[in-house]
Amino acid sequence: MSYTAPIRDMQFVLRELAGLEQVAKLPGYEEATPDVVDAILEEAGKFAGEVLAPLNYSGDQQGAMWKDGEVTMPAGFKEAYRQFVDNGWNAIGAEPEYGGQGMPKLVVAAVNEMWKASNMAFSLCPLLTTGAIEALVLTGTDEQKAKYLPKMIQGTWTGTMNLTEPQAGSDLALVRTRAVPQGDGTYKIFGQKIFITYGEHDMTDNIIHLVLARTPDAPEGVKGISLFVVPKFLVSEDGSLGARNDVRCVSIEHKLGIHASPTAVLAYGDHGGAIGYLVGKENEGLKYMFIMMNAARFAVGLEGVAIAERAYQQALAYAKERLQGRDLGDGSGPVPIIRHPDIRRMLMLMKSQAEATRALAYVVAAAHDAAFRHPDADERKRNQAFVDLMIPVVKGWSTETGIDIASLGIQIHGGMGFIEETGAAQHLRDARITTIYEGTTGIQANDLIGRKIAREGGATIKAVIGLMRQVDAQLAQQGGPDFAAIHRSLSQGIQALGEAVDHVVKNFSADIKSVHVGAVPFLKLFGIVAGGWQMARAALVAQKKLAAGEGDAAFYRTKITTARFYADHVLAQAPSLAYTVVNGAAGALQLAEEQF
Amino acid sequence: MSYTAPIRDMQFVLRELAGLEQVAKLPGYEEATPDVVDAILEEAGKFAGEVLAPLNYSGDQQGAMWKDGEVTMPAGFKEAYRQFVDNGWNAIGAEPEYGGQGMPKLVVAAVNEMWKASNMAFSLCPLLTTGAIEALVLTGTDEQKAKYLPKMIQGTWTGTMNLTEPQAGSDLALVRTRAVPQGDGTYKIFGQKIFITYGEHDMTDNIIHLVLARTPDAPEGVKGISLFVVPKFLVSEDGSLGARNDVRCVSIEHKLGIHASPTAVLAYGDHGGAIGYLVGKENEGLKYMFIMMNAARFAVGLEGVAIAERAYQQALAYAKERLQGRDLGDGSGPVPIIRHPDIRRMLMLMKSQAEATRALAYVVAAAHDAAFRHPDADERKRNQAFVDLMIPVVKGWSTETGIDIASLGIQIHGGMGFIEETGAAQHLRDARITTIYEGTTGIQANDLIGRKIAREGGATIKAVIGLMRQVDAQLAQQGGPDFAAIHRSLSQGIQALGEAVDHVVKNFSADIKSVHVGAVPFLKLFGIVAGGWQMARAALVAQKKLAAGEGDAAFYRTKITTARFYADHVLAQAPSLAYTVVNGAAGALQLAEEQF
């Protein structure tokens, strides 16, 4: 159950596909030189492999423990978190103005993948802190920033996001938590929030909650939600901790996975009101949450990549070691099960899809950096449109794929995969939340076809399809059966995607329910084709290197084979998905509810 | 988390698709009249819903407990098992000669689906007993039959199958357990067996183990394996229990799911040797095991159907009750989430695939009855060939689909699906073993393409494709968009399946590894198309009833819509799968092991 950060693969994607060199030329990212990035990856890989990975299984088995409002983390987590903070890992992506290292999102993505792969439950703590930091950076007052940001960026205090209530899951219009102004600029917060990741724990001496609530005269629905900062302990002018605030952890959930990540029910104001401070403007809380949510959605998408990588490493090790059955060709045996064609097929499914989801996620991270820092406004805008389009795909497709891959990891282990001590089952249990939190796959898909495609008549996605066609044209110029196969599947995939886009754009307004039946199949289609686009780019880079006699030939040949496998086994699904997008509505909408 | 046996749907399949009327005409099955079968289904449904279903979640949470070699079942299981036996449920499918009721396999399949759906962990106990009974019926001596069968059929004693050893999972050639003849006709058994379902428990006072072992002079490999009966307590001439045998439960496994089903490690002969009795002939144990295994594989396939049904019922209830979001059409809200198109899509995926897997399984069960009892030898042979062909599909496809459906059930629950108390997660955890035990999906698929197709040049599957074409021709004669859509997908599916069969038959000998890469995609393709064939038959029956103005019109219209959904969303995948079967080998086989 060890984890070795796939640094060579990461470097390949960073440099050859996502354009690290270009990112490092953006103003403000000049420190992200190849040497610095290599050093960061190596150190992060060590920390992930040596400190976090060994706590993954034990953390799952022990779980976070609730007693009398306090949460005790599993053995080793507190110490690991202290080291994480001491080594500066919490700060690498944050604003230099408040003590962060300001590394580009592209580099942070690779590092974060390592935390998620080595110990997903642990990684959720800095993930949520990062979200809270972003909200304060964007909308906090100078005083709020000075008070909270340095310690949150360092990691001395952690942060949370409090959206969900029992009656208000994905539908924030139903939020009922109240914020009553006290006349002194503060508010008193009353209400119950559920599903609060790291809402309580014993790794730091303060927790900064960001809470959605309604002021007394707020409009109904999502237009009446405001954002408040509610520290667990109030913070004095001098930065020292003051009184305990009126927010208590009532319980933590008994979950399928991520047992070491405490999922808290938080009660605000049971003893007179929790003191909260407005963040930004009243009634604009939802807007701020959406900004944070994009980052969080990208981060959850990376969890899909990370679990896929971890599950693959474990299944591969088992497949090379486990002796069972005879070689189908020469009859020798017992042989390691990796010799059996179906085990190879499953390993290649894991490997190729882990690589495809990673490539797409990193490419989107690089675009995010350009959208933030590029000197040219048009370039920023173009990149931002790409990021906005792709976030739901990175989130939805990578996580759905991550679950499939974790499940394949169990399958490769056979009966041992079902035994908890093997550790393969934990990956599936942990992965299973990723298609749900920060917006289900259905919500991502609705966002994709509605706000990201139909609203602009498909302009951005059509431009992306244009980029795909350029790559496909390059494929057509290569020789040999591998490139022929990749080209065949990619052209069919692009064709299928184009038809599906036309269908969505043409029918969205007139027949909104029908188009929404195809939303998730559309998201999967787009993900698969976009992944195929990146795999094709990887194969073309590899071919160029091989032709030039540069670098590690075995490594580059592997890239071409993996792209070919992906084309034949994954990208080949595109036409069927497009068929469902275009034709699938009637069967889904026809039944009356009582006919189910 | 309640369960209501889907009796109306079951009756539809039994009567309209699987030909219960014809089965009841077979000699020996005359008692299976419509009235008797209805009464059995109703009573079984009550028992499943009222006795077994309420123990499903509590059994999962408590789990079976091991202490000092004894296993204590979760609260309520012992009493439920006693009622199960008292009501005669253990005996309904067994030989009348030894006290069984001799109901056809078709009827038993429907009843067993209820046990599996209401409480899969419980249902494994009678499943394994049935396997042991079959082995003894087929190969036991008259004395063995008289001694063990009546009590096992009644359920007073349970049975187990002992195949697996730590080094011998799917590969029985590696079995090392020794059987040493004592000169008095008995053997002493020495060795360790793992993954023994209900290998120890406290629900009955004896357990009859069937054990694979090697005699001292046995040939190596699978040709040297013999089958032994090893009772936990020796049985005297008068049927009373004698000495405790030298078989001990060393531990039980800590598993992802089916926590209430004890999975035992059994040590034979640690204290002088466990007394065993040869079953059938020496060195023919594997053959006997294969006979039992076909029944067990069918039964596990039914687990896929059952869990799909249970997960669907739970998700449907939640989708009708949970209020979230606004209606996309008229903007009203909050509405029950079943109004959202993506929730409907997921519910229809669950519903249509549960129905498709059930229809195929019951049709195969009916063929099994005909293969066993039909007066005409050619009919028996034809039916047996169909059963042999379809068993790996019922096993592999239904279970893979069952896992997907259980996962969709979680997804429909959103965040609540990840909370164990909701019960949706248990279905996924329980389902996850079904693609592994009694032969993984890979093993089913290899059996399918090799022994069941290539070996006979595809004769049986081509005949089945011929039957599918007949149904498709009937579809073409119906009017309206639903039948047009079903026809379009079914013809494409049949076409795709035919191409894949030709590929397998043509290349199996010359390029065995390449063909095996496509084995699981082939199995899925065959399952999906065979399911589509049955759904099309259901739609045609429904159309006929509607045209004649017979029966419940809403029910029959639902069948047509469900078949149409299946065609557009599931059957539509067939061409892509065929593409992978035909083209997928190179990418999977190209890498050297060190390139992974």
Q: How large is the ipTM?
A: 0.97
Query: Chain A contacts of B594, Cβ < 8 Å?
Result: 554
Q: Which of residues 379-418 of B touch A (CB under 8 A)?
A: 403, 407, 410-411, 414-418
A195 within a domain of the structure (yes/no): yes
DSSP states along B410-450: HHHTGGGGGBGGGSHHHHHHHHTTTTTTTS-HHHHHHHIII
For A356, phi and psi rounded to 5 degrees?
-70, -45
**Token duo for residue B550:** 């017979």
Q: Minimal CA–CA distance to A574: which of A513, A528, A539?
A: A528
Give the structural domain span for B514. Answer: 440-588
Interchain CB distance below 8 Å, B564 and A573: no
Query: With contact defined as beta carbons under 8 Å apart, do B437 and B124 qualify?
Result: no
- The closest of A150, A191, A188 to A278, measured between CA atoms, is A188
In angstroms, rounded to a whole number, what is the distance separating the alpha carbons of residues A439 and A447?
A: 10
B93: three-class secondary structure by DSSP: coil
Is residue B230 situated within a structural domain? yes
Tell me which amino acid residue A86 is: D
Helical segments of B508-584, H only: 512-517, 519-548, 553-569, 574-583
B422 Cβ contact list (under 8 Å, min separation 6):
B413, B416
Judgement on whether residues A216 and A96 belong to the same structural domain of the protein = no
H or E, element range at A423: none
Contact B445 A482 (CB under 8 A): no
Interface contact A567-B587, CB threshold 8 A:
yes
pLDDT for position B294: 85
Domain assignment present for B250: yes
Q: In three state form, how does the secondary structure of A64-88 look?
A: CEEECCEEECCCCHHHHHHHHHHCC
- CA–chain centroid gap for A138, Å, is 21
Q: How far is B516 from chain A (nearest CA, A)?
A: 6
User: For position A467, what pLDDT does the model report?
Assistant: 98
Mutant choice from A309, A347, A517 vs B, greatest count of B C-beta within 10 A: A517
Chain A closest-CA separation from residue B483 CA (Å):
11
Helix axis angle, B424-431 to B285-321, nearest 10°: 160
Nearest to A256 among B420, B433, B554 (CB): B420
- Per the CB < 8 Å rule, is B411 touching A345? no
- Cβ-count burial of A462 within 10 angstroms (0-12 exposed, 13-18 middle, 19+ buried)? middle
Same domain, A181 and A107: no
3-class SS at B357? helix
Are A380 and A442 in contact by the 8 Å Cβ rule? The answer is no
Q: Do B340 and A516 touch (CB under 8 A)?
A: yes
| Residue A397 near residue A524 (C-beta atoms within 8 A) | yes
Question: Whats the size of chain B, residue-wise?
Answer: 596
Asked if B596 lies within 8 A of A316 by C-beta distance, the reply is yes
**What is the CB neighbour count within 10 angstroms for residue A502?**
13
Check residue B290 and give its pLDDT.
83
Mutation choice for A interface testing from B326, B516, B517, B529 by most A CBs within 10 A: B517
The predicted pLDDT at position A362 comes to 98
Which tokens sit at A536?
């094709």
User: Has A438 been annotated as catalytic?
Assistant: yes
Q: What is the mean pLDDT of each run of 10 residues along chain B (596 residues)?
A: 96 98 97 96 98 98 98 98 98 93 97 98 97 93 96 97 87 92 97 97 98 96 95 94 97 98 98 97 91 90 98 98 94 95 98 98 98 98 98 98 98 97 98 97 98 97 98 97 98 98 97 98 98 98 97 97 98 98 97 94
Length of chain A: 596
Check: CB of residue B100 under 8 Å from CB of residue B91.
Answer: yes
Residue of chain A whose alpha carbon sits nearest to that of B492: A576
Q: Is the dihedral of CA B131, B134, B162, B516 positive or negative?
A: negative
CB contacts < 8 A (A, B):
280
Q: Which residues of B touch A486 (CB under 8 A)?
A: none
Eight-state DSSP code of residue B333: -
CATH code where residue B134 lies: 1.10.540.10
B199 and B250 fall within a common domain: yes
* CA atoms of B206 and B386, how far apart (whole Å): 37
Q: How far is B321 from chain A (nearest CA, A)?
A: 12
B485 and B584, same domain (yes or no): yes
Q: Please give the Cα distance from A350 to A280 (Å, whole number).
A: 44
Nearest CA in chain B to A482: B587
> Whole-angstrom Cα distance, residue A9 to residue A542?
12
Cα nearest neighbour of A520 on chain B: B342
Examine residue B212 and state whether it is found in any structural domain, yes or no.
Answer: yes
In the structure encoding, which two tokens stand for residue A283, read together?
């009634």
CA distances from B376 to A125, A216, B28, B382 (A): 70, 82, 14, 10
Q: Beta strands B207-213 and B158-162: pairing type?
A: parallel
- The helix or strand, by DSSP H or E, that contains position A432, with its residue range, turns out to be none
Tell me: do A207 and A134 sit in the same domain.
no
The pLDDT assigned to A248 comes to: 98
Q: Which two tokens stand for residue B297?
A: 């594989």
Is the pTM of the predicted complex or chain greater than 0.95? Answer: yes
Element (H, E) at B489: helix B481-507
Claim to verify: residue A83 and residue A111 sit in the same structural domain? yes
Q: Which residue has the tokens 């035992």?
A: B264
* Domain count within chain A: 3
Catalytic residues of B: 438
Q: Select from B266, B283, B300 the last residue of a domain.
A: B283
The answer to whether the CB atoms of B584 and A568 lie below 8 A apart is yes
Contact yes or no for B411 and A435 at CB 8 A: yes
Is residue B166 located within the same domain as residue B132? no
The alpha carbon dihedral of B66, B70, B76, B78 has a sign of positive
Give a three-class secondary structure readout of A2-59.
CCCCCHHHHHHHHHHHCCHHHHCCCCCCCCCCHHHHHHHHHHHHHHHHHHHCHHHHHH
Q: Tokens 């004896």, residue?
A: B206
In a domain, B345, yes or no: no
Q: Residue B169 and residue A411: Cβ atoms within 8 Å?
A: no
Check CB contact of B509 with chain A, cutoff 8 Å: no
Closest Cβ–Cβ partner in A342, A416, A588 for B345: A588
Q: Is A553 on the interface with B (CB under 8 A)?
A: no
Q: CA B245, B246, B252: angle at the middle one, nearest 5? A: 105
A182 and A123 assigned to the same domain: no
In a domain, A67, yes or no: yes
Q: Compute the nearest-CA separation of A482 from chain B (Å).
A: 8
C-beta atoms of A561 and B587 within 8 A: yes
Question: Distance between CA atoms of B345 and B343, rounded to whole angstroms?
Answer: 5
* CA-based torsion, B74, B79, B85, B87: positive or negative: negative
Are A569 and B558 a contacting pair at CB < 8 A? Answer: no
By the 8 A CB rule, do B593 and A340 touch? no
Q: Which residues of chain A are within 8 Å of residue B429 when distances are taken between CB atoms? A: 256, 429
- A1 to chain B, minimum CA–CA distance in Å? 17
Question: What is the dihedral sign for C-alpha B98, B103, B105, B107?
Answer: negative
Picking from B129, B154, B179, the residue at the C-terminal end of a domain is B154
CA dist A40 → A45, A53, A92, B345 (Å): 8, 18, 10, 45
Same domain, A553 and A493: yes
Looking at the fold, whether A133 and A181 belong to one and the same domain comes out as no
User: Are A149 and A172 part of one and the same domain?
Assistant: no
Instruction: Name the DSSP letter for residue A165.
Output: B
B507 interfaces chain A, CB cutoff of 8 Å: no
CA distance A353 to chain B (A): 13
CA distance B262 to chain A (A): 12
In whole angstroms, give the CA distance from residue A160 to residue B522: 47
State the smallest CA–CA distance between residue B34 and chain A in angstroms.
25
CB contact under 8 A, B572 and A579: yes
Instruction: Please indicate, yes or no, whether residues A150 and A228 belong to a single structural domain of this protein.
Output: no
Domain assignment present for A337: no
Q: Which of A438, A499, A593, A594 is catalytic?
A: A438
pLDDT tens column, A222-271: 999 999 999 999 999 889 999 999 999 999 999 999 999 999 999 999 99
Cα separation, A149 vs A134, whole angstroms: 9
The enclosing domain of B235 has a CATH number of: 2.40.110.20
| CB pair distance less than 8 Å for B325 and A572 | no
Give me the residues of B, 9-48, that contact A with CB < 8 A. Answer: none
* Interface list for A 328-357 with B (CB within 8 A): 328-329, 334, 336, 338, 340-348, 351
| Domain end point (choices B154, B185, B210) | B154
Q: Is residue A299 a part of any domain in this protein?
A: no
Which parts of chain A sit beneath pLDDT 70?
none
CB A532 within 8 A of CB A489: yes
User: In this structure, are residues A471 and A533 in contact, taking their beta carbons and an 8 Å threshold?
Assistant: yes
Q: What is the pLDDT of residue B293?
A: 85
Give the model's pLDDT for residue B448. Answer: 98
Rounded CA gap, A475 and A542, in Å?
A: 12
Q: Is A62 on the interface with B (CB under 8 A)?
A: no
Among B170, B328, B590, the residue with its CB nearest the CB of A512 is B328
